[in-house]
Chains A and B, each alone.
Chain A
Amino acid sequence: MSDTNYKPTSALGKWFDERLPLLTLFNGHLMQYPTPKNLNYWWTFGGILTFCLVTQIITGIVLAMHYTAHADLAFSSVEHIMRDVNYGWLIRYIHANGASMFFLAVYIHIFRALFYGSYKSPREVIWILGIFIYILMMAAAFMGYVLPWGQMSFWGATVITNLFSAIPLIGESVTQWLWGGYSVDNPTLNRFFSLHYLIPFLILGLVILHIWALHVPGNNNPVGIDLKKDGSDTVPFHPYIVIKDLFALVIFMIVFAGFVFYAPNVLGHSDNYIPANPLVTPSHIVPEWYLLPFYAILRSVPDKLGGVVLMFGAILILAALPWLDTSKVRSAIFRPIYKQFFWLLVIDVLVLGYMGAMPAEGTYLLISRIATVYYFAHFIIIMPILGFMEKTKPVPLSIADPIISGSGNFAAAKKDKI
Chain B
Amino acid sequence: MKKIYITLLVAFICTNLHAAGDATKPLKVDWSFNGFFGTFDRAQLQRGFQVYKEVCASCHSMKHLSYRNLGEKGGPEFSDAEVKAIAAGYQVKDGPNEDGEMFDRSGLPKDKFKSPYPNEKAARAVNGGAYPPDMSVLVKARAGGPDYIYSILMGYDESPPADLKIEEGVYYNKFMAGKKIRMPKPLNDGSVEYSDGTKATVSQMSQDVTAFMTWAAEPHLEKRKRIGFKTILYLLIFSILVFFSMKKIWSRVESKV
Contacts and interface: CB of A to CB of B under 8 A. Distances in A.
Physical contact A–B (CB less than 8 Å) = yes
A257 B228 contact: yes
Given A257-B231, A354-B16, A270 B142 contact: yes
Chain A's interface size range is 35 or more
Contacts, number: 108
Given A79-B137, A418-B3, A262 B13 contact: no
A76 B137 CA distance: 11
Contact of B9 (A254, A257, A271, A347): A347
Contacts of A254: 232, 235-236, 239
B253 interface: yes
Contact of B17 (A257, A262, A354): A354
B162 interface: no
Contacts of B6: 343, 346-347, 350
Contact of B231 (A37, A251, A261, A354): A261
B140 A273 contact: yes
A342 to B, nearest CB: 10
B246 interface: yes
A235 interface: yes
Given A79-B136, A246-B242, A418-B3, A260 B228 contact: yes
A350 B19 contact: no
Interface of A: 37, 76, 79, 82-83, 89-90, 93, 235, 239-240, 243-244, 246-247, 250-251, 253-254, 257-258, 260-262, 264-265, 270-271, 273-275, 283-284, 286, 289, 292, 343, 346-347, 350, 353-354, 357-359, 400, 403-404, 418
Interface in B237-257: 238-239, 242-243, 245-246, 249-250, 253, 257
Interface of B: 2-3, 6, 9-10, 13-14, 16-19, 21, 36, 64-65, 69, 133-134, 136-138, 140-143, 145, 177, 217, 219-220, 224-225, 227-229, 231-232, 235-236, 238-239, 242-243, 245-246, 249-250, 253, 257
A93 B220 CA distance: 12
Contacts of A240: 249-250, 253
Given A235-B253, A273-B141, A354-B13, A253 B19 contact: no
Main secondary structure of the interface of A (DSSP, over half): helix
B239 A251 contact: yes
Given A257-B232, A274-B141, A400-B257, A262 B225 contact: yes
A254 B234 CA distance: 9
Contacts of B16: 354, 357
Contact of B227 (A90, A250, A343, A357): A90
Taking each of B16, B236, B250, which has the highest tally of chain A beta carbons within 10 Å of its own beta carbon?
B250
Contacts of B232: 254, 257-258, 261
- What 8 pairs across the A-B complex have the smallest Cβ distances? A261-B228, A273-B141, A250-B239, A79-B64, A273-B140, A357-B17, A243-B246, A273-B137
Nearest to A84: B66
Contact of B13 (A89, A264, A350, A359): A350
- Counting chain A CB atoms within 10 Å of each CB, the highest count among B3, B17, B232 belongs to B17
Contacts of B224: 89-90, 93, 261, 264
Contacts of B134: 275
A283 B177 contact: yes
Nearest to B219: A83
Given A239-B249, A357-B19, 15 more contacts: A82-B220, A243-B249, A243-B250, A247-B239, A247-B246, A254-B236, A261-B224, A261-B229, A262-B36, A270-B145, A274-B141, A275-B134, A343-B6, A350-B6, A400-B257
Contacts of B257: 400, 403-404
B231 A250 contact: no
Contact of B10 (A264, A274, A343, A350): A350
Contacts of A354: 13, 16-17
Nearest to B138: A273
A243 B242 contact: yes
A358 B246 contact: no
A250 B243 CA distance: 10
Nearest to A93: B224
B143 A270 contact: yes
Given A89-B224, A254-B236, A347-B9, A357 B64 contact: no
B132 to A, nearest CB: 13
A275 B137 CA distance: 10
A275 B257 CA distance: 62
Given A247-B239, A283-B177, A357-B17, A343 B231 contact: no
A347 B219 CA distance: 40
